[in-house]
Structure 1
Amino acid sequence: MDVTEDTVRDVCTDAVFERGERYLAESRIHEIHRVDSTVTAVLSGSRQYDVRVDLATDGFAPWCDCPYDGPGACKHVVAVLLRCVDDPPPDEGDQLDAALNGADADELRAFLRDVLATDADLRARFLARVGEPTSQSADELRASIDRRFEETNPKYHVVFDPIDFTQWFDLANKYREQGRHASAATVYRALVESLDDNMERVDGAYDHFSRAFSRALDGYVDCAATAVRDADAVTDAVAFLEERATSGTPFLAEHFEKAAVDLRERADESSCDSCVAFDDAHKFEDHEN
């Protein structure tokens, strides 16, 4: 997608566009890098904010960890995009490719193994990428997500700014692409539990956290309904949702109740379809005999 003033205006309001112009003029961008079409940057405001955009995607797929919760992109994203209009950062992709191509295979493998050995989240993403099921339980994944809440505002219990849950949603999506719906359901369940337990400490960016919760809950139901193959598994998944409806955040109870009903109905439909297929197969065998 071409980066022009007009395409930048398309992803934000007029007021935000003007603020983004001001941020760019004030040299608020302290660090900016580009690899292929992905641009990452660090900007200063009331604190430092991380920004990511994809210049090849319609709408630029903007992401920023600031608390902006209005329509369209925030002023930090706009400032970065406008910088790309006037003075795009050099593409570091060729340098990265050259380094990878020139690296000794054993040294590269040793480096990668050392990194993966000390970073459980990255290890889970790597294993998913190469087609391995998740080795982390829902509790382990949830602990990583909970840490994000603690790190966002370590001095206070309240969370004001949005949290980037992309790595966990990407992990779940990768498992879904591979048909590993049970592994995806584990990731979604960890997200649901962490968001449910931490939702009452959220004091800002409500839409951001609500969307993340709804996305995780819908993903869990979809994957659980696809992955379950026996009555006990269905019962356990429904029981989890019903337990959350009574013990979790009160204003989320209705969402859990609806999800439990939806999962039960979808499991019943799947069971009926399996019975029909089984009966049809036996009728065919009887006819053949």
Structure 2
Amino acid sequence: MDVTEDTVRDVCTDAVFERGERYLADGRIHEIHRVDTTVTAVVSGSRQYDVRVDLATDGFAPWCDCPYDGPGACKHVVAVLLRCVDDLPPDGGDRLDAALDGADADELRAFLRDELATDADLRERFLARVGESTRQSVDELRTAIDRRFEETNPEYHVVFELIDFTQWFDLANEYREQGRYASAATVYRALVESLDDNMERVDGAYDHFSRAFSRALDGYVDCVATAERNADAVTDAVAFLNERVTSGTPFLTEHFGTAAAELQEKVGEQSCE
């Protein structure tokens, strides 16, 4: 997707566009880098915010860890995109490829193993990429997700700021790309359960958490329908969704009921093929 002022305006409101222009003019962008089409940067506001955009994706797939929950992209993302219009960062992909090509295989293996040993999230994504199914249960994954809610505002029960769920969505997507839909469904269900159980403590940024919930629920239904040919497994998934209709967060119950009906419909269509 071409990065122009017009395409940037398409992903934000007029007011946010003007704020992004001011942030760019004020020199608030720091540590901006590009590898292939992915641009990452740090933008200073009330604190330092991490920003990521994909210049090749329709709409740029913007992500920022600021608490903005309005329509479209935030001013930090807009500032970074406008910087790319005027001064596209050099592509570090060639340097990375050259370093990989020139690296000793044993040293590269040792480095990778050390990183995987100390970074559990990276380890899970790596195992997914090479075709391993997840060994983590829904409860184990939920524990890590719930911890994000606890850590966001440890002194109070209320959550005021955004929580980044990217690592779990990336992990689920990795499993889907490898055709391991049951593993992806496990990750999605952990997200669904955690978001449902913690939604009532959210005070602000509702759109962010609602979008994450809807994305996880849709992913769960799609993956269960694709992965399972066992009637008992599908029955269990439908029972989980229906149980949440009565026990879950009140304003999410309709979503669970719709998802249960959609799953049954998808499975019924597949059995007729």
Alignment-mate amino acid for residue 216 of structure 1: A
Q: Which residue of structure 1 aligns with residue 195 of structure 2?
A: 195
Aligned positions of 1:1-289 closer than 5 A:
1-271=1-271, 273=272
Change in Cα spacing, 1:5 to 1:248, as seen in structure 2 (3 Å) is same
Report sequence identity in percent. Answer: 86
Q: Structure 2, unaligned stretches of length 5 or more?
A: none
Q: Does the aligned pair in 2 maintain the 1:34–1:89 contact within 8 Å?
A: yes
Contact conserved, 2:129 with 2:178, CA < 8 A, in 1? no
**Structure 1 residue 270 displacement after superposition:** 4.2
State whether residues 33 and 92 of structure 1, in contact with CA within 8 Å, keep that contact through their aligned partners in structure 2: yes
Change (3 A) 1:259 1:12: closer
Q: Deviation of residue 25 (structure 1)?
A: 1.8
Q: Distance in 2 between matches of 1:155 and 1:114?
A: 35
How many pairs align? 273
Aligned CA-pair RMSD: 2.0
SS of 2:11's partner is coil
Indicate conservation of the 8 Å contact 1:124/1:136, yes or no.
no
Per the normalisation by structure 2, the TM-score is: 0.91
**Higher Rg:** 1
Cα deviation, 1:119-153, whole Å, max 9, x if unaligned, reads 22211111111222112211222222222223333
**CA–CA separation in structure 1 for the residues paired with 2:102 and 2:214:** 45
1:124 touches 1:135 (CA, 8 Å); kept in 2? no
Q: Which residue of 2 aligns with 1:283?
A: none
- CA distance in 2: counterparts of 1:199 and 1:130, whole angstroms: 34
Q: Which AA in structure 1 matches 2:92?
A: E
Aligned mates of 1:199, 1:49 — CA distance in 2: 24
Q: Distance in 2 between matches of 1:8 and 1:264?
A: 40
**Counterparts in 2 of 1:68 and 1:107: CA distance versus 1, 3 Å:** same
More deviation, 27-36/16-25: 27-36
Structure 1 residues not aligned, in runs of 5+ = 275-289
Name the TM-score, length of structure 1 as normaliser.
0.86
Q: Output one character per residue of 1:202-226: Cα deviation in whole Å (capped at 9) or x when no partner.
A: 1111112112111211221222122
Opposite residue 19 of structure 2, the aligned amino acid is R
Runs of 4+ in 1 over 3 A off after TM superposition: 264-271
Deviates more, 1:116-125 or 1:151-160: 151-160
